[in-house]
Amino acid sequence: MRFIDIGINLTDNMFRGKYRGKRLHQDDFDLILERAQRAGVEKMIITGTDLVESRKAAAMTDKKEHAGFLYSTVGCHPTRCGEFKKYKHGPQAYLDALRAVIKKSPNVVAIGECGLDYDRLHFCDTQTQKEYFAAQFALAKETQLPMFLHDRNTGDDFYNMVKHHRNDFTHGVVHSFTGSMEQMERLLELGLYIGINGCSLKTAANLEVVKAIPQDRIMIETGKLFQSPKEMSNLLLSSCA
Ligand SMILES: [Zn+2]
């Protein structure tokens, strides 16, 4: 079996043995990559979650020893979209800085993650999220890179924005999908891919949705370590055998 992990938060310190500032084990980063390769993972795409993390992710992929294995996305997560306005030279400069990361690294393969998240509005309000989600469609249009999309509890807002901008981007995946059967089908109609991780497998209803995703439209991702690897491996064995 050969896999591409489309979303791994490898810049997170937990992949270095530190969890919320506490060291719980030795840095075993290289061993993680080795184990993944032994298990059939051919490529990994590190998720860029804001400007700083996108820079870190791109720098990681540009190391010689990771050539042909690590790739990254560049973008700003909806809960962090407040960073656009707070940036020292304003929102346009923030967008320009994201663009500069894309231009500098040949290993950036998608725009994101970006989207909407109404579960965590205490980090960023809906208006700000929408404004800078729209800005990132412009980045996708300009670079012709596919989009790595995030949607949490947004009613029809996420769908409507993606539909409105559908001609602005080539391909896209809605990652960590936890929506209903109907929501999944509507995204497929827009020509999008569905990304699944441990979060997508928590309930019986989730499993029914995942089973119904066509094999040529499903993508897999690790995310962070709190997403149970056991759930992931069970799914891989059952769906890819
Ligand atoms: Zn996400």
Averaged in consecutive runs of 10 residues, what is the pLDDT profile of the chain (241 residues)? 93 90 93 94 97 98 96 98 97 98 98 97 98 98 98 97 98 96 98 95 96 97 64 41 23
- Alpha-carbon gap, residue 149 to 133, rounded angstroms: 10
CB 220 within 8 A of CB 232: yes
What is the model's pLDDT at position 232? 47
Q: Helix 181-189 vs helix 157-164: angle between axes, to the nearest 10 degrees?
A: 10
Q: What spacing in Å lies between the alpha carbon of 90 and ligand 1's midpoint?
A: 24
- Print burial letters for 56-83: b (CB count within 10 Å at least 16), e (below 16): bbbebbbeeebeeebbbbbbbbbbbbbb
Q: Determine the distance separating the centroid of ligand 1 and the alpha carbon of 112, expressed in angstroms.
A: 9
Report pLDDT for 241: 23
Q: What's the distance, CA 236 to chain centroid?
A: 19
Q: Which residues are annotated as a binding site?
A: 113, 150, 175
What fold, for 3-240?
TIM Barrel (3.20.20)
In the reported structure, the alpha carbon of residue 113 is separated from the centroid of ligand 1 by a whole-number distance in angstroms of 6
Most distant CA pair in the chain, distance: 51
CA of 149 to the centre of ligand 1 (A): 7
Residues in contact with 83: Cβ distance below 8 Å, sequence separation at least 6, in sequence order: 50, 51, 76, 94
- Please state, in angstroms and rounded to a whole number, the distance separating the CA atoms of residues 116 and 50: 14
DSSP-derived 3-state class of residue 198: helix
Q: How far apart are CA 68 and CA 80, in angstroms?
A: 30
Work out the number of other CB atoms within 10 angstroms of the CB of residue 89: 9
Work out the angle between the directed axes of helices 91-104 and 51-61 (0-180°, nearest 10).
10
CA of 176 to the centre of ligand 1 (A): 6
Crossing angle of helices 126-143 and 91-104, rounded to 10°: 40
Q: Please work out, in degrees rounded to the nearest 5, the angle formed at the alpha carbon of residue 172 by the alpha carbons of 123 and 130.
A: 30
Query: pLDDT at position 225, please?
Result: 61
- Write the CA distances from 71 to 67, 110, 126, 241, integer angstroms: 9, 9, 30, 26
What is the structure's pLDDT at 236?
44
66 Cα to the center of ligand 1, angstroms: 24
Distance from residue 49's CA to the centre of ligand 1 (Å): 8
- Kindly give the distance from the C-alpha atom of residue 172 to the centroid of ligand 1, in angstroms, as a whole number: 13
Residue 45's pLDDT is 98
Distance 216 CA to ligand 1 centre (A): 21
- Give whole-number Cα distances, 32 to 4, 37, 195, 231, in Å: 15, 9, 21, 18
Q: How far apart are the first and last CA of the chain?
A: 8
CA–centroid distance, 69 to ligand 1, in Å, is 22
Alpha carbons 82 and 36: distance in angstroms, whole number? 35
Q: Find the 67 Cα to ligand 1 centroid distance in Å.
A: 25
User: Residues annotated as binding site for a divalent metal cation?
Assistant: 113, 150, 175
Centre of ligand 1 to C-alpha 188, Å, is 18
3-state secondary structure of 151: strand
Domain boundaries, the chain: 3-240
pLDDT at 239: 30
Report, in this order, helix, strand and coil percent for the chain, each rounded to 5. 50, 20, 30
> If you measure from the C-alpha of residue 45 to the centroid of ligand 1, how many angstroms do you get, rounded to a whole number?
13
